[in-house]
Structure formats: C-alpha cells, structure tokens
C-alpha cells in the first residue's frame, strides 16, 4: 500500500501533467507566466483533497482530474496576486522570483486573471452530467469570491491597515475565507456526484450530510494548516533573530496556544472523516500537518 508521501506524489504528478496539457507552451508572455507559476513546485494539497474525496465518494479519478486542476489554477492565481506590490509585496515564491519579478507586474496580473478564467473552462470540461458541472462551477465561484477567499483576503488587508489587532474570532473569520475557502472548494469538488445514496462505504449518509462533512473537514483542516504555517514562520523568524513580518496565530497568542488550537482543529477535521471508506490518506495528511509543529 502507498504511503502518504507516495500517494501525494502520484496525485501531484498526475495533476502537473494535466495542467501542462491544459496550459501548453506558447510564445505568449501571459501563458509563459501562467506556466512558470503553475510549475514552481508546491505539494498540490488542494488537488490531493479533491482526488481523495472523489475516491471516497466513488467518482472516477479521470473524471475528477479536471476539477483538481481547476482548484490548483485558482490557488495559483491567488498566489500571483498575493505577491504583487499592492498586496503582500513578496519578491520570492517557493525559492524562485515571484511572477511579477520574473515577468513584470502587468503580465503577472494578466496571468492571474487568465488562470482564474481558465479554471472555469477546465472544470466545465469534466466528463460529468450537466447538473454536476453546474454544481462544480458554482462551488468554484462561491468559495473563491467574496464569500470565500477574496472576502478573507479583504478582511486581512483591513486588519493589517489598522495595525493587525486581531481577536481569535477575527483571525478565524479571515482564515475561514482566505485559506479555508479554497480548502472547502477542493473538498466539495470531489463530492459533486454525491446523491442521496452515495457510495462512500462505511456509514450510509445522505448527500447533504456528506457535503456538510466534507466542508467541515476542509474548514478545520484549513485552520490547522494555516496555524501550523504561522508557527513555522514565527519560529523561523525567531531563529534568524528578526521580527516576524506579519501578525498571526503564533505572534498574537503564543506558540503553545497556537499549537493547542492546531491540535483541536486537526481532531475536528479527522472526526469529519470517520464515516467514509478510503479515508486513510486524508487522515494521514491531517496528522502529518500537525506533526510538523508537535
């Protein structure tokens, strides 16, 4: 049986190959910028979540793959725009020059725009019934927009502008949208074929319950994922004897409290998976994420 690392690598390789087909090489600078950022590495966590929920709910892998590519395109567009001078102003991404440093700010903006619109085209190409494609497009739109990722980003910008005086409730609200929005998208895209007798194995659940469990897993895992990243960023800054660049869970509440919160969110995420068959890889991923700071 595959280990978590092997399964994630297999899913990442399949996603990368499919992304290369959806965005083939071109002399167009915008396409080059799209491909540059799509191929800049990363663990492909969101496509992995989509593919695993697809496996748990009985969707064929080949059918789910365009949906996995769509969520990775939305995620990649968000990284390009986050790095811009008007946003987080980051010159490096995954050890490489950010898209706007490599290609210029205007081309980077267009590359992000192009990836977002391409995501809907790719999702619509999935070999699914029309009603399932409509559901997938709606999931992408709702969770990527004001009610999800973009809404969370705006709340974060507003909090930073007033000095970053977050309460725990505000931080969770921001991350429910900013990080959790795309995690929720990834999970729900893997469930677009669920009906009222879903082939999930384990305990029989209605479609509504399956979707609620998928969304709750994603929100809790998204919180844990962000908290762990915050702790690691904080510890890296302290080791380098520099002030942390941004306020986050670790800087505001302390590493120990942040670690306990990550434990709580991880436990809640895993609890959401208990009724699914083929849940071992997502459980292992949630545990691995937590173990990075335990």
Residue identified by tokens 């900013």 is 178
**b (16+ CB within 10 A) / e for 120-143:** bebbbebebeeebbebbbebbbeb
Instruction: Say what the pLDDT of residue 198 is.
Output: 47
- What's the token pair of residue 71? 């969520």
CA distance 86 to 76: 17
- What pLDDT is stored for residue 202 in this prediction? 58
**272: which DSSP letter?**
T
CB 231 within 8 A of CB 254: no
Place of tokens 């921001």: 174
- Percent of the chain past pLDDT 90, that is, above it, reads 73
Least confident interval from 26-30, 100-104, 167-171 = 167-171
* E-state strands within the chain: 92-93, 96-97
Report pLDDT digits (tens) over 174-202.
888 988 999 999 999 999 998 755 444 55
Q: Give residue-wise pLDDT tens across range 243-261.
A: 777 778 998 889 999 999 9
Residue 292: in which H helix or E strand, if any?
Answer: none
Range scoring the smallest mean pLDDT among 213-222, 230-239, 241-250, 260-269: 241-250
Coil, strand or helix at 93: strand
- Crossing angle of the two packed helices 207-239 and 255-271, in degrees rounded to 10: 160
> Please, which pLDDT band fits residue 166 given cuts at 50, 70 and 90?
confident
Task: State in Å, rounded, how far the first CA of the chain is from the last one.
Answer: 26
- What count of Cα atoms within 13 Å lies in the side-chain half-sphere of residue 229? 11
Structure tokens at 244: 């942390």
Domains contained in the chain, CATH given: 4-291 (1.10.600.10)
pLDDT score, position 165: 64
For the stretch 30-82, pLDDT in tens is 999 999 999 988 889 999 999 999 999 999 999 999 999 999 999 999 999 99
Largest CA distance in the chain: 56
What rounded mean pLDDT belongs to the chain?
Answer: 92
pTM, full prediction: 0.94
pLDDT digits (tens, 9 = 90+) for 270-286: 999 998 989 999 999 99
């Amino acid at each position: 049986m595959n280990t978590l690392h092997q399964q994630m690598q297999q899913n990442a390789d399949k996603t990368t190959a499919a992304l290369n087909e959806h965005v083939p090489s071109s002399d167009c600078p915008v396409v080059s910028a799209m491909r540059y950022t799509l191929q800049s590495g990363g663990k492909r966590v969101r496509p992995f979540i989509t593919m695993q929920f697809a496996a748990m709910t009985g969707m064929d892998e080949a059918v789910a793959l365009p949906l996995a590519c769509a969520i990775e395109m939305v995620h990649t567009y968000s990284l390009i725009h986050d790095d811009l001078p008007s946003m987080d102003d980051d010159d490096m991404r995954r050890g490489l020059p950010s898209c706007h440093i490599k290609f210029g700010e205007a081309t980077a903006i267009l590359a992000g725009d192009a990836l977002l619109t391409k995501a809907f085209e790719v999702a619509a190409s999935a070999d699914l019934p029309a009603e399932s494609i409509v559901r997938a497009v709606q999931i992408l739109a709702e969770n990527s927009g004001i009610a999800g990722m973009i809404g969370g980003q705006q709340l974060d910008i507003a909090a930073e502008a007033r000095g970053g005086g977050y309460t725990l409730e505000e931080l969770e609200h921001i991350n429910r949208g900013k990080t959790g929005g795309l995690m929720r998208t990834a999970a729900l895209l893997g469930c677009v074929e669920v009906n009222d007798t879903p082939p999930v194995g384990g305990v029989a659940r209605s479609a509504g319950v399956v979707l609620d469990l998928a969304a709750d897993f994603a929100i809790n895992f998204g919180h844990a994922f962000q908290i762990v990243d915050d702790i690691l960023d904080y510890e890296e800054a302290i080791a380098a004897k520099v002030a942390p660049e941004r306020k986050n869970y670790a800087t505001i509440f302390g590493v120990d409290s942040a670690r306990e919160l990550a434990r709580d969110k991880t436990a809640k995420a895993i609890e959401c998976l208990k009724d699914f068959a083929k849940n071992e890889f997502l459980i292992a991923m949630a545990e691995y994420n937590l173990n990075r700071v335990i």
